Amino acid sequence: MLVIKSIYFISLFFFSFVCAGVLIRFIMLILSVIWISREKKMIKSVVNHYPKVSLLIPAYNEEDTIIESVTHAVNADYPDLEIIVVNDGSKDKTLSLIIDAFDLIEHKEKQITETIPTQQIIQIFKSETVNNLVVINKENGGKADALNCAINASSAQYVLALDADTHLTKNTIRYLIRPILQDKEIVVTSGSVRIISEKNSILSNLQKAEFVNSISLFRTGWNYINANLIVSGALGLFNKKVLFDVNGYHNLAIGEDMELIVRIHRRLLENHEPYKILQFALPTCFTQAVPSIKEMINQRKRWQKGLLSSLRLNTKLFFNPSYKAIGLIALPFYILFEALSPFIEVLGLFFYIFLIIYKSTGSIMPADNFAMASPFIIWFAGLVFAVFNDWLSITIDKMLLRGMSWKEYFQLLLSACTSPFFYHFLQVYCKIKGTVEYVSTIQTSTKWDTKR
């Protein structure tokens, strides 16, 4: 009898966990649909004058993608754009390729004020063919250090941080800056990060479906309570004053993008300054799909370490009403449903195995069959909702945002069906492995993710 009661209570815990996760994600999806209709009016408003924007591209060993990325930046449709590429001590041909492709010459007259401390600058280049391009060659210091160097070098009030393997669409910068021009409380805006891949593989389609759900739509739901904790390093527009106020990116953070955003929240809330950090669905950039499972494991481990690093550096905020929705809602959500969820899922798996073994002993009564079956019902319901949620996200994306082809639409729907059986468990494995590696070694500086 005691065993059956224990099964009931444990099942109730897993049921509550699954229901909470399902409910939160569904609410966020509904909020995102409402937000998109509001966003279209905000982003597509008429603007008579656009302020200068500095586009920051940190690069380390990016010889395969750097020329294409800088070319896309040079061709961006924005009237007053400054492009700053920082070569962070690359060991490959990144710098020489840029020099040859854009006719760079050394710019000895340019002086950079080191407002945020960084590693030493070796050379500064300007282009003879592209007037708004500046390239900085510096000693290696990590991605955060490279971004801080670019911030110091920028001459604009607004800076757009962009990964070196990321491509902007035509109107991305305009879409990101327009909300700021309408509402001066907005200090950071971000947009959708989408996956491109030369090969139409199962893995790339799984990544496409994931990014639609987790970035393009899910994060916009946090706008209503001003609790966005992540602005993707691939696409984030900042008021430079805020970056100087928090002393730029943190060299000790692994996930420098999340850590920076949490620190901005913290600083502005402590100073009682009105502000907004908003995620938009329409501004878009494209980044390369991770081509192999091995590289994906490395990437997702780094993401998990970045999450844990940001949480560890901001424990003061947890459940602290002084930090409003950040401390009371957003951080607890990331603790429970991102940091701890893989371990809860594994415990649930062992619990199910125990039930199978226990039932095989024949020591339960027919009346207790429901207690034995309830965990499997919970698991099946969670699986069905996961597929439904992905389908709904992909459909919303097609109907309201980019209007993908029917062929791509059905490919993504099919990928969503397979995700709970393979892709999801791969993510769980990566998160657990990343957590174990993080707690066993505390990293002392940011490092480039050379394996994606």
* Three-class secondary structure of residue 199 per DSSP: coil
Tokens linked to 21: 């996760």
CB 344 within 8 A of CB 350: no
Position 375 scores a pLDDT of 64
pLDDT per residue as tens digits for the range 207-248:
998 998 887 788 999 999 999 999 988 899 999 999 999 999
Q: Residue 204 — pLDDT band, cuts 50, 70, 90? A: very high
Residue 82 binned pLDDT confidence (cut-offs 50, 70, 90):
very high
Comparing C-alpha atoms, which of 379, 380, 359 is closest to residue 369? 359
- The pLDDT of residue 404 is 80
pLDDT tens track for 278-296: 999 999 999 888 989 999 9
Mind listing the pLDDT tens digit for each residue in 413-432?
Answer: 999 998 888 898 999 999 99
pLDDT of 403 over the 50 cut: yes
Q: How confident is the model at residue 252 (pLDDT cuts 50, 70, 90)?
A: confident
Cα separation, 141 vs 138, whole angstroms: 8
**Domains defined for the chain, CATH in brackets:** 49-200+209-288 (3.90.550.10)
Which residue, among 260, 228, 243, has the nearest Cα to 159 in the 3D structure? 243
Which residue type does 358 have? Y
Provide the 8-state DSSP code for 51.
Answer: P
Q: Quick one: pLDDT at residue 443?
A: 54
Angle at which helix 423-440 crosses helix 341-360, to 10 degrees, equals 120
Residue 451 is predicted with a pLDDT of 47
Q: Is the pLDDT of residue 253 over 80?
A: no
Mean pLDDT over the full length of the chain = 89
- Kindly indicate the confidence band of residue 368, based on its pLDDT and cuts at 50, 70 and 90: low
pLDDT band per the 50, 70, 90 thresholds, residue 373: low
5 or 168: whose pLDDT is higher? 168
Confidence of residue 372 (pLDDT cuts 50, 70, 90): low
